[in-house]
Chains A and B, each alone.
Chain A
């Protein structure tokens, strides 16, 4: 807004200087008043980085495996945050009895959750485990710089690379491997989320969870038992055999369901690793009170289904009002029913009959009689 005001003032100065020339000044006035009108579209300022916050002290980032999220940041100043992340290649399950050679950040799919604060100077140390077969790197969408860090972090097996970036923008960001061929590295499981908490912090909630959707292209049908390799053909056709939350058909099902109690507030950090499909993210049995679409800072409210693009995210917040299971799905629904995109939040507590009754009756009713036709 500041830039706009300056420009407007300058125009008025010009108007004053040529005030004696009536015709000209009238023209100038009409132009300037159009430009200084009260309503301006697309008027949000584009911030400039004039001064970086002072970095005080240093700490090691606590990384968590999904569905867990590191504790909120309590610092009120920027610091140097050291992130140590290791890429690990290993066979892992996609479903019970189905294995795939996963490439991971930190040994899990999705990779470790990273939490820093706006203004932090992040020292990123990427290690590629000695028994890895290929080089890896990392592109964090939170980074302002070439490749999101990919260029600076290309790491061969048995090596460690280090680069630094300033977390300029608050929000929830995807990170992923970007080594050639990038599609293969992502298809094999190399993605995760980094949260840059705004300087002001985030409103406390009762529970925070990390849920990330992604799809897998095996040379097999869904749930076909055994070890299966990547299918180039399926990947090019964008026709996955699996669409999953947190890398496994059962990652958020049964005893792995996310827990909550009636009345609690839940914040889901939702990501989509892709590599190809956008997600129609939906929680069956709940309305999302707050959604920060695409992981940005503007809230939408009372949302049923939010679109999470491949390589994008959403922060969703809602209160669980009644007991029972809430089901997470990709509402592009064949993916949920046939390809595994299912999760559960198991809500415990007392019934709230004023909000939801459950079934009250189940009775036959008479068909219409013939003479009514």
Chain B
């Protein structure tokens, strides 16, 4: 499944169901609301990923990203318009058995409509973004945007900011609070840290090793996937946590602490 997801990344074949879903949802007023979710422009630039080929900088082109994670309220509109993504109907190849398992029914997320939707698979997240005319952010886009604090595009050279992010991660609570609960960064994007983990389009292209100390190399990739060996910043513990989390994922995986937001190319 990981391989399949990787292929989908490289050759972005639209999932049949998602493509159809886009048509189905077109006339739904709620779809309009979800599509209108406010986005922020992230001016491009370069950054050094935690695991980087030859420890070099990666260039990120300008893009738009949702200011908030997708909420339970947003997602119920999606499944209302797209029956095949309902809990009772989603095929097992697109989501595991815990998909939307914290809802009381197909169209009943219960309370906390403003909280991030979680228990969604990569396939579902991807279909949602397609439905609203967007896409999932790439890992480099997400990581680049996540380096900003309230006033700086890249605050990660600041030890105290690193400590703050790590603290936000370890203070997370379930059930998750409403979106907008954690800080708004320079771009106007909220909740990059400390609310939920978020799917990215290419979640499986770079991973921390499952054993963080060893010398594994996966698929002849350029990075050494040992936890520290090969990492460009051994003190960015928050980044290690994100990469470790992504390394556990398959396209069908769902989790109570994993949500998503959408992104789009700049026109």
Contacts and interface: CB of A to CB of B under 8 A. Distances in A.
B174 interface: yes
16 contacts: A135-B248, A147-B213, A151-B209, A179-B210, A179-B212, A180-B212, A180-B240, A180-B241, A181-B227, A182-B213, A229-B166, A232-B159, A232-B162, A232-B235, A232-B237, A233-B159
A313 B98 CA distance: 40
Q: Which residue, of A159, A180, A188, has the highest number of chain B Cβ atoms within 10 A?
A: A180
Interface stretch (A45-53, A125-133, A328-336): A125-133
Interface string A142-159: 000011001100111111
Contacts of B159: 232-233
Interface string A100-116: 01000000000000000
B132 interface: no
B253 A156 contact: yes
Contact of A133 (B98, B169, B208, B209): B169
Contact of A179 (B162, B166, B174, B244): B244
Contacts of B20: none
Given A131-B174, A230-B170, A157 B255 contact: yes
Given A137-B210, A158-B98, A178-B212, A229 B249 contact: no
Contact of B209 (A139, A180, A219, A232): A180
Contacts of B245: 134-135, 156
B256 A131 contact: yes
Contacts of A232: 159, 162-163, 166, 235, 237
Given A178-B213, A232-B237, A155 B244 contact: no
B192 to A, nearest CB: 15
B61 to A, nearest CB: 29
Given A131-B174, A229-B171, A182 B253 contact: no
A184 B255 contact: no
B166 A137 contact: no
Contacts of A179: 208, 210, 212, 244
A231 interface: yes
B21 to A, nearest CB: 26
A156 B174 contact: no
Contact of B211 (A101, A130, A137, A181): A137
A133 B244 CA distance: 11
B237 A151 contact: no
B250 to A, nearest CB: 10
Interface residues of A, number: 33
Contacts of A231: 163
Given A147-B211, A180-B209, A232-B163, A130 B243 contact: no
Nearest to A128: B248
Nearest to A181: B240
A158 B235 contact: no
Main secondary structure on B side of the interface with A: loop
Interface in B224-267: 227-228, 235, 237, 240-241, 243-245, 247-249, 253-257
A134 B163 contact: no
A131 B258 CA distance: 11
Nearest to A227: B171
Nearest to B196: A133
A112 B197 CA distance: 29
Given A147-B211, A180-B227, A229 B244 contact: no
A277 B98 CA distance: 41
A151 B227 contact: no
Nearest to A130: B256
B214 interface: yes
Q: Which among B159, B216, B237, B254 has the greatest number of chain A C-beta atoms within 10 A?
A: B237
B248 A180 contact: no
Nearest 6 Cβ contacts at the A-B interface = A180-B212, A180-B227, A147-B211, A154-B210, A150-B211, A156-B248
Given A133-B169, A154-B248, A232-B235, A181 B210 contact: no
B227 A156 contact: no
Given A180-B240, A182-B213, A230-B170, 19 more contacts: A132-B257, A133-B170, A134-B169, A134-B241, A135-B247, A135-B248, A137-B210, A147-B213, A150-B210, A156-B248, A157-B255, A158-B98, A158-B255, A180-B209, A219-B163, A229-B163, A231-B163, A232-B162, A236-B235
A229 B212 CA distance: 22
B248 to A, nearest CB: 4
Contacts of B172: 133
A229 B256 CA distance: 23
Interface in B37-95: none
Contacts of A134: 169, 241, 244-245
A231 B162 CA distance: 11
B210 A151 contact: yes
Interface string A173-200: 0000011111010001000000000000
A275 to B, nearest CB: 12
A135 B243 CA distance: 10
Contacts of A219: 163
A150 B163 CA distance: 27
Nearest to B254: A158
Nearest to A232: B163
B167 interface: yes
A179 B162 CA distance: 19
Contacts of B254: 158
B257 A157 contact: yes
Given A182-B227, A229-B166, A147 B214 contact: yes
Interface string B180-223: 00000000000000000100000000001111111010000000
Contact of B166 (A130, A178, A230): A230
Interface string A21-50: 000000000000000000000000000000
